[in-house]
A and B are shown apart, each in its own frame.
Chain A
């Protein structure tokens, strides 16, 4: 029943530790301008703007859409601000798509960002709460025990995470926008890097980046008129589960499994490894690749690590299902934008517009984001064909 919609323009900034040359407004405008240019459009051809970012406490700007409307050419138009934890970049793309899929708008701009150099994410994530236990751990400390539990259950060799860390950095070295440029990275170097949150080493963790990502999403009629091939949105899904409940499996969350099943059903996917050509998946810590390979149905439970070790997810090893050809979150992580970058990079692949990290002949791709303590999920499938 939903109207067809497609990504017709993609714009990103270069991801880096500090963008001292621009304000927050300058950062988002750069990505948005790049997306408009990619779509061959002007500001006045946009009907609405949908903005996403991680918690306001990161930069200390409450409801930043009120300040960013001028930079995003939104005055006189509708503007919506989405916030769903680390999955926000993905959720924002989905909410933006719903503006078009509902038949309400013809063409919208969606933007997400994080300027982590002007923020303190670790502090913002660790403020004590009057009614709950103080978890002064940040994201790595939160996920480390969950990873240890995965290692125990799956009996995966200790070097799987190291392999992912190397693989995604080699992918990132093909992507000029990626924050970390490490074409010379080795397994030994990752293994020797210091242990941050056992078993997560420094080089098995995502960086902290400044950056923004933007997309223009258009209705069927307008998408066909664009200068570049559109990436058709073939399925969208979101799922949430509570942070804590009896029987919650944090290693293989049901919300992730349900979300994947929903988006695959919409896109007609029965075997994701076979049917999809590549995937951009939110992997902020190396071990999340094998964990999500299982959660998303690319491998049976307990066997995700085998795909990683076999090189199935590696462009450089000519794998059959490359994961994170852009370098992923392990190569660039402006938190609020990281989910949207996954969604946008999936779209770049099926548009055949991914440069040196293009997966040859990619026609169908998955974009994935998760957030919080892995209780929030957002996914979409984009294709070169409408159906």
Chain B
């Protein structure tokens, strides 16, 4: 199988409310940024385009149709879309490159979550007959998961606050972050609970924005003459939707995906984890077998800003940035979908 290189990545600044900025206006700047990084003009200069978005964020069928308007798709282009985080659009694109139907691909994801009540909107991804009618929001489900772990002595509220404190401090070096600051563990613990046992700081903010990436074959990366990192493994797994049948204190599908992606084959310098709630970073770190030597969420992770449908792709992009800068040699990126980490994707990015 052909090696896959990442050659460009950019994420817009996560903002609480992008106001009158529409989806195309959110996407255009990040596309222009990745075009510039490899020195191309538009989507005509890549062989394939794939995006991730969610109609329910926009409140209309076919959110991705507007997205196509950002591409300059005249003459027509080879293009596809997943109703998932753009990390899965990356997965689809990698298959296209591996089968030889493309040598390069543009991948992007976007979400404008601010117009709706995101945790309530996402309740409608639950079983439509038994669960969705109860409108159980995502924060409540995550709170239940955290409570299970606290009750079983698998973590403490201080552990969770440490995740938050580290995220806020790391995010001070991330210009795209929405929430950043020199916040101590004590300051987090002093906050009142929001949905017990979660404090607001334990939950990712609601953000608007977009992210884009360009991948290609190694030959193409050399032709473009730009620095690149290699995707040496990628896998994703889903587990049962029935929360009562899952061990919510563990992420079995993350471990399966990590094994499939070959995470254990070497040391991990950096890990970017899509953990929308502080306790989930702990679950994921354990599932991935991360040790103290790994820098976890140096960007601040999604607690610093969560671009729905793009955050998973951004995790991979954040690892890519650190590998090409020489800050890390080998890193792991994780993306998630569904309630309480139901579906997980793991990518290994390595120095070329």
Contact = CB atoms under 8 A, between A and B. Distances in A.
B238 A69 contact: yes
Contacts of A54: 61
B77 interface: yes
B69 to A, nearest CB: 5
Interface string A25-43: 0000000000000000000
Contact of B128 (A57, A67, A132, A245): A67
Top 7 nearest A-B pairs by Cβ distance? A1-B100, A55-B61, A102-B98, A255-B76, A240-B79, A62-B125, A66-B338
B164 to A, nearest CB: 27
A238 B99 contact: no
Interface in A230-282: 236-243, 245, 253-255, 258-259
A77 interface: yes
A242 B98 contact: no
Given A69-B238, A78-B238, A62 B124 contact: yes
A99 B95 contact: yes
B79 to A, nearest CB: 4
Interface of A: 1-3, 23-24, 54-70, 74-85, 91, 95, 98-99, 101-104, 124-125, 127, 129-132, 236-243, 245, 253-255, 258-259, 372, 375-376
Contacts of A240: 49, 68, 73, 76-79
Interface of B: 1, 22, 49, 54-56, 58-62, 64-66, 68-69, 71, 73-84, 88, 91-92, 94-96, 98-101, 121-122, 124-129, 132, 235-242, 252-253, 256, 337-339, 342-343
A271 B253 CA distance: 49
Given A236-B101, A258-B76, 10 more contacts: A63-B337, A69-B342, A75-B240, A77-B237, A81-B83, A84-B80, A127-B60, A130-B22, A254-B76, A372-B65
A2 B101 contact: yes
B128 A59 contact: yes
Given A55-B61, A242-B74, A258-B75, A83 B82 contact: yes
B53 to A, nearest CB: 9
Nearest to B125: A62
A80 B84 contact: yes
B238 A77 contact: yes
Nearest to A50: B92
Contacts of A132: 66
Contacts of B253: 76
Contact of B22 (A77, A131, A239, A258): A131
Contact of A125 (B58, B61, B69, B129): B61
Contacts of A125: 61
A54 B343 CA distance: 21
Contact of B82 (A80, A236, A238, A258): A80
8 contacts: A1-B99, A61-B124, A62-B124, A63-B84, A63-B338, A64-B128, A76-B256, A132-B66
B131 to A, nearest CB: 8
Most buried by A among B71, B124, B252: B124
